[in-house]
Amino acid sequence: MEDYNKIIESLGVKFVKARHIRILQPITIKNFYDVQNSLTILYDGEVSFGSDESQKVEEGDMLFIPGGKHATVTYGNTQTAKTVSNEEFMTNRDNYIEAGHDPALIGKLPNSFGLISFEAKVFDTVNFFTSLDVPPFLIKRDDQIAATINQILTEDMLDTPGKGRIIKIKTEEVVIEIIRYILKNKLFVEQLVTNSTYFKDPRLIDIFAYIKDNLGGDLSNKVLANVANVSEDYVGQYFKMLTGINPQDYIEYQRMEKAVDLLRTSKKSIRAIGSDVGYKDTAYFCRRFKMMFGIPAGKMRRRESLMNV
């Protein structure tokens, strides 16, 4: 437990979005994907997830989807839901959902749910839940987490002094409660034991930090080997042994995650964003982006995900 206390203390939590959403038309989104973690609480109606054996979210329950994980999600009745791709949903989302802006109606509308999205990174560099290989999962009715989500939704809708500070504190509470829920219910024990060990390796943390600070530069294995003070021949094996992925795959994910952030928050051209995250060939950047997220970079900018309705 002491190790988890250290990890929690090292977490950098960043609030991204909060939305109160009403379902207008039942839909099944294939390959739902976002770089941010999302937590959905069902107030009324139906939500389910999973492609092979769909799991139903009961009213009052919460669905947690870690950032970087593909999922199939159904909003509304599964029997009448229209199946769409993530790209189709993002292009025509106004046909399927609408966001509410009245805090008095939170949890009181038919076919509605609340949603918050956030980052949770160890040492502000490593996506915590993604790195542990935690899959999307259900949090059964938890009044404390539910109340905190409602507070975040309310604060986000109002223009009151200190709302940013309150939202930050409450988002940190949500992240801690999710971790506590996982530990209390002994979920994903094997993943936690296997994948949490690298948080204790200072050389690997140095590599993570260097990658974060140099996404637009040279991140070859030779450079990473110098950062970790290991041989170039060994650094790939060392990285994969501790994380389960090879360093270049990790680097590409970090670059694309940063690209998404820039698309959502800046007015830079796609060419400039690709260059900023290490892709000198814009066409190649666009191909890799579409391959990873299922939509073109330009459409990501025009039509953001469900969290940004």
Tens digits of residue pLDDT in 256-293: 989 998 998 888 999 999 999 999 999 999 999 998 88
Q: How many CB atoms lie within 10 A of CB 108?
A: 12
Strands 37-44 and 47-49: unpaired
Tokens 């959403």 -> residue: 21
Tokens 């040492």 -> residue: 123
Which helix (H) or strand (E) segment holds residue 292: the answer is helix 282-293
pLDDT confidence tier of residue 43, bands split at 50, 70 and 90: very high
AA letter at 268: K
| Distance between CA atoms of residues 59 and 5, nearest Å | 32
Q: How many CB atoms lie within 10 A of CB 287?
A: 13
Give this prediction's pTM: 0.83
* Token pair in block for residue 132: 């542990």
Length of the chain: 309
* Token pair in block for residue 174: 């949500």
CB of 70 closer than 8 Å to CB of 31: yes
CB of 228 closer than 8 Å to CB of 201: no
DSSP-assigned letter for residue 81: P
CB of 207 closer than 8 Å to CB of 221: no
Whether residue 307 is predicted with pLDDT greater than 50 in this model: the reply is no
Mean pLDDT of the chain: 90
More confident residue, 146 or 130: 146
Tokens 């947690």 -> residue: 64
Give the model's pLDDT for residue 303. Answer: 56
Tokens 């993604």 -> residue: 130
Largest interatomic CA distance in the chain = 60
* Token pair in block for residue 103: 């805090």
The rounded Cα 109 to chain-centroid distance in angstroms is: 26
Name the CA radius of gyration of the chain, rounded. Answer: 20
* Token pair in block for residue 231: 């041989």
- Sign of the dihedral defined by the CA atoms of residues 8, 9, 12, 17, in that order: positive
Rounded to 10 degrees, what is the CA torsion of 182, 186, 188, 189?
Answer: 130
Taking residues 224-240, report their average pLDDT: 93
